[in-house]
A and B are shown apart, each in its own frame.
Chain A
Amino acid sequence: MNLLEVRDLQTHFFCDEGVVKAVDGVDLTVRRGEILGLVGETGCGKSAIALSIMGLLDPPGSVVGGSIRLGGVDLLGLPESEMAKIRGNRVAMVFQQPQSSLDPVFKVGHHIVEAIRVHRAVAKCEAWRQAVELLREAGIPDPERLAHVYPHELSGGMAQRVMIAIALACRPDLVIADEPTTALDVTIQAQILDLLRSLRAKFGMAVIVITHDLGVIAEMADRVAVMYAGRIVEQTDVRSLFSEPHHPYTQGLIVCMPRLDEVRARLTVIPGAVPSLMDIAPGCRFASRCQARVLHDMTRCMEAEPPLEAVHPGHEVRCWLYDRAASAEPAHHGPRGAGAGYRLGLGAPADSPANGSPAGHMPAGRDSIPHPLLAVTELFKHFSTGTGVFRRGGGTVRAVDGVSFDIREGETLALVGESGCGKTTVGRAILRLIPATSGTVLFGGRDVLNAGTAELKALRRQMQIIFQDPSSSLDPRMRVGDSVGLGLLVNGIKRKERDDAVIATLRTVGLEPYHARRYPRELSGGQRQRVVIARALALRPKFVVCDEPVSALDVSVQSQILNLLRDLQQELRLSYLFIAHNLSVVNHIADRVAVMYLGKVVELADREELFRNPLHPYTRALMSSVPSTQPSGGRARIVLNGDLPSQRDMPSGCRFHTRCPFAQERCAKEDPLMREVTPGHSAACWLV
Chain B
Amino acid sequence: MSRVRRRSWHATAVAGLGIFLVVVAITVCAPFLTHYDPIDQVLRDAFKPPSAAHWLGTDRLGRDLFARIAYGGRFPLAITLVAVSVSAIFGTLVGAIVGRVGGAVEEIAMRLIDVFISFPSILVGLVIAALLKPGFGTLVLAITVTDWTPFARLARAITLEINTRAYIEAASAVGAPEPLILRKHVLHHLVGPVLAMGFLRFGHGLLTIAGLSYLGLGAQPPAPDWGAMLAEAQPYMMRFPILVLAPGLIIFATALSVVLAGRGLMLMFDAPHGGPRA
Same assembly: yes
Q: Assess A464 versus B174: contact at CB under 8 Å? Given A490-B180, A521-B2, A523-B2.
A: yes
Decide: B167 and A474 in contact? CB cutoff 8 A.
yes
Q: Interface code B170-184, partner A: CB below 8 Å = 1, 0 otherwise?
A: 111111110010001
Q: CA–CA, A188 to B177, complex, Å?
A: 42
Tell me if B3 is interfacial: C-beta within 8 Å of chain A. yes
In the complex, what's the smallest C-beta–C-beta distance from B179 to chain A, in angstroms?
11
Q: Does B238 contact A (CB under 8 A)?
A: no
A535 within 8 A of B: yes
Is B239's CB within 8 Å of the partner chain A? no
Q: Report B-chain residues with C-beta under 8 Å of the C-beta of A522.
A: 2, 4
- Let me know if A521 and B104 touch, CB within 8 A: no
Q: Indicate whether A433 sits within 8 Å of B173 (C-beta atoms), given known contacts A467-B166, A469-B166.
A: yes
Check A288 for interface membership: any CB of B closer than 8 A. no
Cα separation A482 to B183 with both chains bound (whole Å): 13
**B188:A475 contact, CB within 8 angstroms:** yes
B185 at the interface (CB under 8 A from A): yes
Q: Nearest Cβ in chain A — how far from B27, in angstroms?
A: 35
Binds B, one of A147-155, A162-170, A454-462: A454-462
Neighbour of B170 across the interface among A389, A467, A520, CB < 8 A: A467
Tally of chain B residues near chain A (CB < 8 A): 27
A389-B104, A473-B166, A478-B185 given; A433·B172 CB < 8 A:
yes
Nearest-Cβ distance from residue B227 to partner chain A, whole angstroms: 40
Q: Are B166 and A17 in contact (CB under 8 A)?
A: no
Q: How many angstroms from the CA of A190 to the CA of B176 in the assembled complex?
A: 43
A464 and B173 within 8 A (CB): yes
- Tell whether A477 is near chain B: CB-to-CB under 8 Å: yes
Q: How far is the CA of A465 from the CA of B172 in the complex (A)?
A: 10
- Min CB gap B112→A, angstroms: 14
**B contact residues around A464 at 8 Å (CB):** 173-174
Considering the complex, which residues of chain B in the window 229-270 have a beta carbon less than 8 Å from any beta carbon of chain A? none
* Residue interface mask A381-405, B partner, CB < 8 A = 1: 0000000010000000000000000
B175 and A456 contacting across the interface, CB-CB below 8 Å: yes
Q: Can you name the residue of chain B whose Cβ is closest to the Cβ of A483? A: B167
A contact residues around B176 at 8 Å (CB): 486-487, 490
With beta carbons under 8 angstroms apart, the residue of B3, B171, B175, B185 that contacts A521 is B3
B165 within 8 A of A: yes
Q: Given A461-B175, A476-B274, A486-B184, check contact A535 B170 (CB 8 Å).
A: yes
The answer to whether B188 touches A524, judged by C-beta atoms less than 8 angstroms apart, is: no
Give A17 to B5 CA distance when docked, in angstroms: 8
Digit string of B69-85 for contact with A (CB within 8 Å is 1, else 0)? Answer: 00000000000000000
Residues on A with beta carbons closer than 8 Å to the beta carbon of B175: 456-457, 460-461, 487, 490-491
Provided the pairs A478-B184, A487-B175, A522-B4 are in contact, do residues A473 and B170 lie with their beta carbons within 8 angstroms?
A: yes
- Please encode chain B, from 1 to 32, with 1 for each CB lying within 8 Å of some chain A CB and 0 for all others: 11111000000000000000000000000000
**A472 contacts partner chain B, Cβ-Cβ < 8 Å:** yes
What residues of A have a CB within 8 angstroms of the CB of B114 in the complex? none
A521–B176 CA distance with the chains assembled, in angstroms: 24
Query: Is there a chain A Cβ closer than 8 Å to B137's Cβ?
Result: no
Residues of A within 8 A of B104 (CB): 389
Distance, CA A389 to CA B1, complexed state (A): 41
Query: Once the chains bind, are B184 and A476 in contact (CB under 8 Å)?
Result: no
Q: B2, B167, B173, B175 — which one has the most chain A CB atoms within 10 A of its CB? A: B173
Asked if A672 CB lies within 8 Å of chain B CBs, one says no
Residue of B107, B169, B184, B273 near A389 (CB, 8 A) is B107
Which residues 501-535 of A have a CB within 8 angstroms of B?
520-524, 532, 535
Least distance between B71 CB and chain A CB atoms (Å):
42
How far is it, in angstroms, between the C-alpha of A532 and the C-alpha of B180 when the chains are bound?
A: 19
Inter-subunit contact A521/B274 (CB<8 Å): yes
Q: How far is the CA of A569 from the CA of B1 in the complex (A)?
A: 29
Residues from chain A with a CB closer than 8 A to the CB of B4 are 17, 521-522
Tell me how far the C-beta of A407 lies from the nearest C-beta in chain B, rounded to whole angstroms: 17
Chain A proximity of B108: nearest CB distance (Å): 9
- Closest chain B residue to A528, Cβ basis: B2
Contact B5 A431 (CB under 8 A): no
Of the residues B167, B174, B274, B275, contact of A487 by C-beta under 8 Å? B174
CB within 8 Å of B: which of A490-504? Answer: 490-491
Does A82 lie at the interface of the complex (its beta carbon under 8 Å from any beta carbon of B)?
Answer: no
Known A-B contacts A477-B188, A521-B3, A535-B174; the reply to A465 vs B169 at CB < 8 A is yes
B198 to chain A, nearest CB (A): 19
Q: Given contacts A475-B188, A478-B184, is CB(A460)–CB(B165) below 8 Å? A: no
A211–B185 Cα gap in the complex (Å)? 36
Q: Is the pair B1, A473 in contact by a Cβ cutoff of 8 Å?
A: no
Is residue B189 contacting chain A, with contact meaning CB distance below 8 A? yes
Query: In the complex, which residues 436-494 of chain A have their Cβ closer than 8 Å to any Cβ of chain B?
Result: 456-457, 460-461, 463-465, 467-469, 472-478, 482-483, 486-487, 489-491
User: A486 to B166, Cβ gap below 8 A?
Assistant: no
Contact with B along A73-100 (1 / 0, CB 8 A): 0000000000000000000000000000
* A487: B residues at CB distance < 8 A: 174-176
Closest Cβ of chain B: how far from A382's Cβ, in Å?
A: 18
- CA of A566 to CA of B29, assembled, Å: 68
Q: Does A665 contact B (CB under 8 A)?
A: no
Report B-chain residues with C-beta under 8 Å of the C-beta of A520. Answer: 274
B167 touches A460 (CB 8 A): no
Q: In the docked arrangement, what's the CA distance between A520 and B1, Å? A: 11
- B3: chain A residues within 8 A (beta carbon): 17, 521
CB distance from A459 to the nearest CB of B (A): 9
Residue of A at shortest CB range from B192?
A: A477
Residues of A within 8 A of B185 (CB): 475, 478
How far is B2's CA from A42's CA once the two chains are assembled, in angstroms? 12
Max chain B CB contacts within 10 Å: which of A520, A521, A523? A521
Q: Contacts of B169 on A, CB cut-off 8 Å? A: 428, 433, 465, 467, 473
A489 to B179: give the CA distance in the assembly, Å.
13
Q: How far is B165's CA from A467's CA once the two chains are assembled, in angstroms?
A: 11
Q: How far is the CB of A190 from chain B (nearest CB, A)?
A: 29
Q: Which residues of B contact A474 (CB under 8 A)?
A: 167
In the assembled complex, how far is the CB of residue A164 from the closest CB belonging to chain B, in whole angstroms?
29
Q: A486 with B274: in contact, given A433-B169, A473-B167, A521-B4 (CB under 8 Å)?
A: no
- Nearest A residue to B108 via CB reads A389
Q: Which of B14-64 contact A (CB under 8 A)?
A: none
Task: Digitize A310-354: 1 where CB-to-B-CB distance is under 8 Å, 0 elsewhere.
Answer: 000000000000000000000000000000000000000000000
In the assembled complex, A644 has its CB within 8 A of some CB on chain B = no
| Nearest Cβ on chain A to B141's Cβ, whole angstroms | 32
The verdict on A43 contacting chain B, using a C-beta distance below 8 Å, is yes
CB distance from A467 to the nearest CB of B (A): 4
The yes or no answer to A126 lying at the interface (CB within 8 A) is no
The CA of A461 and the CA of B180, in the complex, are separated in Å by 17
A472, A520, A536, A538: which has the most chain B beta carbons within 10 Å? A472
How far, in whole Å, are A490 and B172 apart by their CA atoms in the complex?
A: 10
The distance in angstroms between the C-alpha atoms of A148 and B4, with both chains bound, is: 47
Q: Which residues of A contact B1 (CB under 8 A)?
A: 42-43
Q: Which of B200-219 contact A (CB under 8 A)?
A: none
- Which chain B residues border A472 with CB–CB below 8 Å? 165-167
Contact in complex: B274, A431 (CB < 8 Å): no
Since A475-B184, A490-B180 are in contact, a sample of 12 more A-B pairs with Cβ atoms closer than 8 Å, ordered by chain A residue number, is: A42-B1, A428-B169, A431-B173, A433-B169, A463-B173, A475-B167, A477-B189, A483-B170, A486-B170, A486-B171, A486-B184, A490-B174
Query: Can you report 27 residue pairs joining A to B where beta carbons are below 8 Å apart?
Result: A17-B4, A389-B104, A456-B175, A457-B175, A461-B175, A467-B169, A469-B166, A472-B166, A472-B167, A473-B167, A473-B170, A475-B167, A475-B184, A475-B188, A476-B273, A476-B275, A477-B275, A478-B188, A486-B170, A489-B180, A490-B176, A520-B274, A521-B2, A521-B3, A522-B2, A524-B2, A538-B174
Where the two chains meet, the residues of A that have a C-beta atom closer than 8 Å to any C-beta of B are 16-17, 42-43, 389, 428, 431, 433, 456-457, 460-461, 463-465, 467-469, 472-478, 482-483, 486-487, 489-491, 520-524, 532, 535-536, 538-539
- The 8 closest A-B CB pairs, nearest first, are A487-B174, A473-B166, A460-B175, A476-B274, A457-B175, A467-B166, A475-B167, A477-B188
